[in-house]
């Protein structure tokens, strides 16, 4: 008598195959995320280098770097003015028309060909800038992507004048993850103020934000960051990195910076 031919997999065999496929898929996705993450970080680093070059050209024209934030007062180094984010000044100096009204440098715009999808509208006011453009636990940072309908308007003087610091929203440069590039100018701050700020950095708690928001989760979140002058004779530029949290260049963070971070 001929043996019966097996016609189908059993339920257990199907479950085993499904489990193997799921494991392989998760490994593949993890690998893809790692590759994409490295690529985005490389793009962010390249963008920072472009901004640095543009700032060097601005400096050659103006003899100074763009700055709107108040200079730190020696007796008040613990207050927010000592650590204000100046990302709005970054846009105005590099991208606005070279006019007295708009405030751009003599040869502005200095960032030709900047991707229009990487321009944002910041609506957090001076309070957000004073707090270092913090990311909220819900993932917001008072910044939205520039509407596509306005992509061609950013080079027009009326549009730029409508988004100066006194306006409800200001233009900012965005990183590959849709967050503003952070910018601080320390070159013009007197040495005594910088030395005091370096000796007593401002501690910022990120515990609630990190635990609620960290989009990568591949390392323990940064719970406290110490905010101090970086590159105190020049300018500091950094991105929040993949997790979207402003960790102020903490050595254990994923921030992308224009200074070397020692771990």
Spatial contact of 71 and 189, defined as CB atoms under 8 Å apart: yes
Residue 193: exposure state from Cβ atoms within 10 A (0-12, 13-18, ≥19): buried
Helix (H, G, I), strand (E, B) or coil at 177: coil
Query: What is the band of 17 on the pLDDT scale with cuts at 50, 70, 90?
Result: confident
Is residue 183 in some structural domain?
Answer: yes
H or E element that contains 15: helix 11-62
| Cis, bond preceding 109 (omega within 30 deg of 0) | yes
Q: Model pTM?
A: 0.83
Is residue 10 in some structural domain?
Answer: no
Is residue 12 in some structural domain?
Answer: no
Predicted pLDDT at 178: 93
Count up the domains in the chain and report the number.
1
Domain of 30 in residue numbering reads as 22-257
pLDDT tens, 116-171? 999 999 999 988 888 888 888 888 889 999 999 999 999 999 999 999 999 999 99
Is residue 207 in some structural domain?
Answer: yes
Is residue 5 in some structural domain?
Answer: no
Is residue 263 in some structural domain?
Answer: no
Task: Tally Cβ neighbours within 10 Å of residue 252.
Answer: 13
Residue 199: exposure state from Cβ atoms within 10 A (0-12, 13-18, ≥19): exposed
Q: Give how far Cα 148 sits from Cα of 92, 117, 144, 224, Å.
A: 20, 8, 12, 37
Provide the greatest CA pair distance for the chain: 100
Spatial contact of 256 and 48, defined as CB atoms under 8 Å apart: yes
pLDDT tens, 60-80? 999 999 999 876 655 454 454
């Amino acid at each position: 008598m001929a043996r019966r031919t097996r016609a189908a997999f059993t339920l257990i065999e199907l479950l085993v195959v499904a489990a193997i496929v799921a494991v392989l898929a998760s490994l593949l996705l993890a690998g893809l995320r790692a590759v994409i993450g490295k690529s985005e970080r490389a793009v962010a680093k390249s963008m920072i280098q472009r901004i640095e070059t543009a700032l060097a050209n601005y400096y050659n024209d103006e003899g100074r770097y763009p700055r709107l934030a108040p200079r730190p007062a020696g007796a008040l180094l613990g207050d927010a003015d000592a650590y204000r984010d100046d990302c709005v000044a970054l846009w105005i100096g590099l991208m606005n028309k070279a006019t007295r009204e708009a405030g751009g440098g003599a040869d502005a715009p200095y960032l030709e060909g900047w991707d229009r999808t990487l321009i944002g509208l910041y609506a957090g006011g001076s309070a957000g800038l004073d707090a270092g453009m913090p990311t909220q636990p819900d993932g917001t940072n008072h910044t939205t992507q520039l509407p596509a309908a306005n992509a061609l308007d950013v080079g027009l003087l009326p549009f730029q004048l409508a988004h100066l610091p006194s306006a409800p929203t200001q233009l900012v440069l965005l990183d590959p993850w849709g967050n503003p590039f952070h910018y601080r100018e320390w070159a013009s701050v007197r040495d005594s103020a910088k030395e005091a700020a370096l000796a007593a950095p401002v501690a910022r708690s990120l515990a609630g934000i990190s635990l609620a928001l960290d989009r990568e989760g591949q390392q323990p979140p940064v719970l406290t960051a110490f905010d101090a002058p970086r590159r105190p004779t020049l300018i500091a530029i950094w991105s929040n990195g993949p997790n979207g949290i402003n960790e102020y260049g903490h050595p254990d963070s994923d921030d992308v910076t224009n200074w070397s971070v020692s771990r």
